Amino acid sequence: GEDVEQSLFLSVREGDSSVINCTYTDSSSTYLYWYKQEPGAGLQLLTYIFSNMDMKQDQRLTVLLNKKDKHLSLRIADTQTGDSAIYFCAETLPNMEYGNKLVFGAGTILRVKS
């Protein structure tokens, strides 16, 4: 079945690392995504990882994927106040019959204290 779960809230100090966790249930997911949403705005794509990868790094962002445990994490190094937002984990299914459909977690509110 399709289900994505995330912790609801994370608070960190400016300059520290943030780690946002996500678990998913559909083992056939091909791509897993992280999106960021600031107040009153749409979703900004941060990064994605293909399911046959373990890790992907993009500047301050590191994505780790443990396919066995169906666990995905997003690490933000040197977290800044501008990183305060809601972070959504999402999975997509591989079958063309499904077309494009993202299944989202509930979102993690990241609060960065200066």
Phi, psi of 78 (to 5 degrees): 50, 55
Lay out the site mask for another protein across 2-41 (x = CB under 8 A, - = otherwise): -----------------------------x-x-x-----x
Rule CB under 8 A: say whether 43 interacts with another protein: yes
How many CB atoms within 10 Å of residue 59?
8
Determine the 3-state secondary structure of 46 from DSSP. Answer: strand
Q: Interacting stretch for another protein, rule CB under 8 A, among 12-20, 58-66, 75-83, 102-110?
A: 102-110
Residue 33, beta-bridge partner list: 48, 90
CB of 100 to another protein, least distance (A): 5
